[in-house]
Each structure stands twice: as structure tokens, then as C-alpha cells.
Structure 1
Amino acid sequence: MNLNADGTNLWGESMGRFINLSVILLFITFISACSNHTEQNKEVEEKESALNQTTYRFLHNKQEFEIISFYEEVLTYTEIMNENPKLDIKKVFTEIVLEPFKEKSSLSDVTLGNPFSTTTEIEQLEKNTKKLLKNQEQINQWIEEAIIESAELLSSGAVTKIYIFPVNPDDWFVINQMRGVNALTYFGNKIVFMIAPTVSEMDLKRVVAHEYHHTVNLFYNREQSMNSVLDLTITEGKAESFANIFYPEAKPPWTEPLPEDVEAKVLKELRENADSTDWKIYNDFFIGNYSKGIPGWSNYKIGYQITESFIENNPNHSVLDWTKINAKEIVKNSEYRDKILQ
């Protein structure tokens, strides 16, 4: 044992000083780490705060396009619900998200139908929305590229407004079966997109081309493009044929041919209800009616087959030609004439 001259423990005294020095160094290291962590958090917060949604406008061939996102409105909604989970979800969503959208789009409850639904998965909705906001430049670029390709082949001259929302995280049908994107087109050249952060470039672009064709079809044909079950079926078929020109490799499930026996049942139902204006009957083709042997997406599948048949039989018709031609003329000049027209 090492001792001081006065007999005290030299080793113990040295260790005491060493321990005290170690504590000081550890404290300094801890303060430094906290400071670095704080700086990192500050950088992350600054980056997140810098991500503001933008209204993106572009022109092509004298056509004007506007992409309007509602990420910030959705994030305000999720923040309110996270802080006050007992609030009425639908009421808050309507006030914070839906009403501002209706004001900007000039669409009413009657016109909209019910494309929006609320979710209890508020945290997931918030995460998805932040991802979309972070990637908004890329999403806008994909939309712009798809529209420019489409407008090069077909144009209307009208102003087109595109509204972007995150898809409801509960909507697994859109996320999985529709590959992360759903869309609706309204009169007045307005398109609403519901997007999941998992959507691929190809799938988004194909849906953009599909919906863009609807705007042109509505511009030229107005109500005639959606008067009857047959009109609506061919309208979807035309849009899919148009999208297929640019993105044939996408191969969405709603363009897959129906099995022969199923196609016969769908055609029989379509022949009997071609002129019907009953939305319930049309929904049988869209949603499916298994008691009648009609699967979902039958309107897309058979409409696409009919339009493709028309295009093959009439190679001299331009895209604008067959966009303007009415549904019965499309059927009449396809191989489906005798199977539908009475």
C-alpha cells in the first residue's frame, strides 16, 4: 500500500481525484451530446417546417394546368385530433379539410357524392401525409409528365385543376388492389386524386392519363358521355385505351379480359340495361353483383375490350375521332355489335 508522508492513503486520494475528473469529463461529454442532439432535432424541425405545400401551375400547348395539394389541411386535422381525440372526427374533417376543398374547387356536396371518408388511424394518416408532402415535387413532376404526354396527343383547350389528397389508410382496396391511387373527374375539368405514399411512378401516370382523357371527353361530349349505363361503360373503356397508348406495361387488373362464361353474363346484362340511367344498375358493373354473376370492374373490362375492338377495326380513326364518337357508334363498329345492340 502506498502512503503519504502523514500516513494517509495515497492511492485512495489519487483515485478520488481521478473519479472526480472522470465525472467532470462525463458531464461535459453528456452536455456536448445533448447539445448535438438538440442541434440535430432543430435541423430536422427546420427541414420539416420548410416543407410547405405548393400550388403548382404549368402550361402546355396553350392549355393551363394547376395542381393543388391539401396536405397541410390534412395535417392540421390530424394535429387537432391527436390533441383532442374525443372530438367528432367527421365534424373536424369537414371543417378543416372538406370545406376548404369545396371552396377552392367550387364543388358542392351534391356534385362530390362521397369520395372522402374519415379514419380512426390518425397517426398513420399523419405519417402518410408527411411522406407525400416531402415528395410533393416528385409527385407533381410525374403528374406533369403524364399530362404533357397526354396533351401532345389530345387536347381540349380548357383549364384543368388537379386536387391531391392522401388516401384513407383504412382503404386497403385502393392501397392494395388499385396500387395506391384512386381518382375522380368532374365537369369543369376538375380531377381529385387520392394517393398513398407507396404509389409507383408508372401506376400514378397511367391513372393521370386515364383521368385526363375523361376531361377531354367531357369537354367535347358533355352529358352525352355519361347519360346511360352504356355511355359510362364506353367512357371508361375509352379512357383505358387512351392510357394504354402510353403505359401498356402497367397492366392494371381492371383491364384484364373477363373469362368467356363471365363475359357472356356481363354482355347479357349490358344489352338489357344499355339505355338505363339507373346508377344502381351501373354500380352492379362497377362494384359487382355476384348474385347476377357480374364481378367488380366489369364496366372497365368490357368497355376497354369494346373500345380496343373498335380501334382495331377502324385504324384510320384518330384518337380525337374515337374520343368524340358516341358509345353506340363505338359498339356498332366493333365485334361486340350483335352482342349488345338490339
Structure 2
Amino acid sequence: MKRVYILFTLLCLTIIGCSHSSDRTLQDLTYSFQHPETGQPFQIIKAYQLFDDYISEVEKNPDKPLIDVYKETVIDPIYDACFKDAEYPFMGKDYLEEAPDRFTEIKIYIEQLENESIIEAIKDSLIKSSTILPYEIETTVCVFPTPGTPRMVNLGAGKIIIPYNQYITEELVKAGVAHEYHHSYWTAKYYQPNKYYSVLENLVFEGKAVMFERTVYPEIEFFHIENAYHQQYWDEVKDDLHKMDLNRSLEVLNGGGNLPPYYGYGEGYKMVKSFIEEHPHLSPVEWTSIEAKDIFEKGNYARHYE
């Protein structure tokens, strides 16, 4: 039987009748583990291990559309684990619809990822985060080698995407995973699929995640937060807080125009911080459950701009 398998493999490589050179399965790409005390399950999908096949297939088929090769060799094998049934599918658009083409950089990132330090940083963050906010479902983190300046994203309950490049350190991974884990937890517990969310709700959503990442890793600054309260920026957004407008939410969160970069993350964090200062007895489980309107009003946030 072993000789037959070897012969088939050689024929496959010789004829090139088999579409891909790799026999990797999803299981081969997956590192699974549990919280040592609660048994909460996790899996890390090493999507970067598929990129050698992707680059090889591109070189063999230079006339084939890059996006087609990318989807066949990278996305299709991991789609169910990393993207399927996500509550926020638009957050994965860059990974699903843009085929990477900076192959020299990607090869370097793959080699760096193989030393497993980033995987250990992800594991550390997941264990620490779930100790504070446990839930029942499995959390999957998918790791991509990604040139440029992509962002770590949460696609919904139990689905996190982590990019890796020269800008990503172990410390940033730890804090970033904690941030996205909070989104995952909140989505699993409180997301309502048929509800429209206001600008205020989106700011508090991100503010809670920033507060949580700083709770888990107080020594790491993932987002720089401006402690001052700038009236001119507040005047730009205060009348939009109750609008059910995702585009406006993203504008405020990411900054731009008259707003500084990531303005909404900082403002959302300060809203949550103000609330916790007024209610210091509440745990992360408790303040995570509080609605945005109450975070804003019961934290008396408006007083900072009076």
C-alpha cells in the first residue's frame, strides 16, 4: 500500500494533473488547546502555511487570475473555520477579496512565523482573556502573513483574524488578541442580528475592547489614547451619536478629516473609563453587559465637555 501511495504521488507531481502540490488538511494547519482550568476550547489556524502553495501555483500558472489562485489555495481550505457564518463578514473583506502579491515579503513572514513565538503570544492572550471573560463556544484565531498595515479584526463570535508582518510584535499580538476576544465575547452574548447600531453604540463597543485589553495587559499600549478632552473634536461628533449610520461610525472611529486618527477608539475608551470610575465595584463581565446609553449617561460623560 505504501508503494502505491508513493507511486501515485510521483505521478501527480510529474503530470501536474493534481491542482495543488500540498496535501495539508485543515487539521494539519490547526493548533488546538483548552483553558487549563475551565476547558474552554480554542484553535489557532496557521493559514500562513498555505502561502508557499499559493506562491508556487502562481508561478506555475502566470496567466491565471491571482485572486482565483489565492481563493483555491488559501481561502477555500480554511473558509469554514475562519470566515463561515460570521456576524461581521464585511470585516474580512480584505482577506477574502484581495490577493497578496508581495511574495518576497510573504516568504520572510512565513519563515518568521514558523518559530512559533507569535502562536505562543496568541495562546497566552486567549488564556488570560478567557480567565476574565469565559464563554462556551470555541474561539478560532486565523493567522495570515500580510504585507502592508492591515488590522487585527473580529468577524463575530469565536472568529478572529491576526495579520503578521514586520510591524507586529508579540506584545501587540497579545493586546490585539485581547481586544478582539472582547468583541468575540460580546458578540456571543449580546449581538442582535436584526438591530441597527448607533454611532454611540459602536464607540462604546470599541471602548470596552480597549478597556479590556488594558485590563488584561496594562503594561502594553495597543492604542494610544489622548487623555485630554478636545472640545473642537467633540463638537464634530456629538450630534451624530444617536444616528444609526455605520459609515459615520467608521468615520468617527478611524478618524480623518477634522478628527485625529482613531479618535473614536479613544473617545469610546474614555466613556467606559468614566463609567467605571463612577461604578468601581463592577467586574469586566458586568460592565461589558451594560448598554452604551447607560455607559454614557451613568458615567456622566458629558460633564467633560461642559
Question: Could you state the TM-score of these two structures normalised by the residue count of structure 1?
Answer: 0.72
1:69 is the counterpart of 2:46: yes
Which of 137, 140, 146 is the equivalent residue of 2:125?
Answer: 146
8 Å contact kept, 1:241–1:307:
yes
1:308 is the counterpart of 2:234: no
AA at the equivalent of 1:166: P
Shift of 1:205: 0.4
AA at the equivalent of 2:140: K
- Distance in 2 (CA, whole Å) between partners of 1:237 and 1:109 is 22
> In the alignment, which residue of structure 1 is the partner of 2:69?
92
Runs of 4+ in 1 over 6 A off after TM superposition: none
- Closer/same/farther in 2, CA of residues 103 and 315 from structure 1, 3 Å limit: closer
1:234 is the counterpart of 2:213: no
Matches within 5 A, 1:1-342: 54-60=29-35, 61-105=38-82, 107=84, 111-113=88-90, 114-116=93-95, 117-132=98-113, 134-136=114-116, 138-167=117-146, 169=147, 171=148, 173-174=149-150, 182-196=151-165, 199-223=168-192, 227-252=197-222, 254-257=223-226, 260=229, 263-290=230-257, 293-337=258-302
What are structure 1's unaligned runs of at least 5 residues?
Answer: 1-51, 175-181
- Distance in 2 (CA, whole Å) between partners of 1:66 and 1:152 is 16
Shift of 1:109: 9.6
8 Å contact kept, 2:122–2:174:
yes
SS at match of 2:140: strand
What are structure 2's unaligned runs of at least 5 residues?
Answer: 1-26
8 Å contact kept, 1:131–1:197:
no
- Distance in 1 (CA, whole Å) between partners of 2:284 and 2:81 is 32
Shift of 1:106: 5.1
Offset from partner CA, 1:60-114 (integer Å, 9 cap, x none): 1131111111123222111122344443222211222223232333526995321
SS at match of 1:223: coil
- Distance in 2 (CA, whole Å) between partners of 1:258 and 1:153 is 26
SS at match of 1:92: helix
8 Å contact kept, 1:285–1:298:
yes
AA at the equivalent of 2:224: T
8 Å contact kept, 1:68–1:162:
yes
Shift of 1:223: 2.8
SS at match of 2:41: strand
Shift of 1:198: 5.1
CA RMSD of aligned residues (A): 2.7
8 Å contact kept, 2:211–2:269:
yes
> How many residue pairs are counted as aligned between the two chains?
273
- Distance in 2 (CA, whole Å) between partners of 1:295 and 1:158 is 37
8 Å contact kept, 1:237–1:306:
yes
8 Å contact kept, 1:257–1:305:
no
AA at the equivalent of 1:154: L
- Distance in 1 (CA, whole Å) between partners of 2:294 and 2:99 is 42
Say which structure, 1 or 2, has more relative contact order (CA 8 Å, 6+ apart): 2
- Distance in 2 (CA, whole Å) between partners of 1:198 and 1:53 is 27
Question: Could you state the TM-score of these two structures normalised by the residue count of structure 2?
Answer: 0.80
- Distance in 2 (CA, whole Å) between partners of 1:320 and 1:163 is 25
SS at match of 1:103: helix
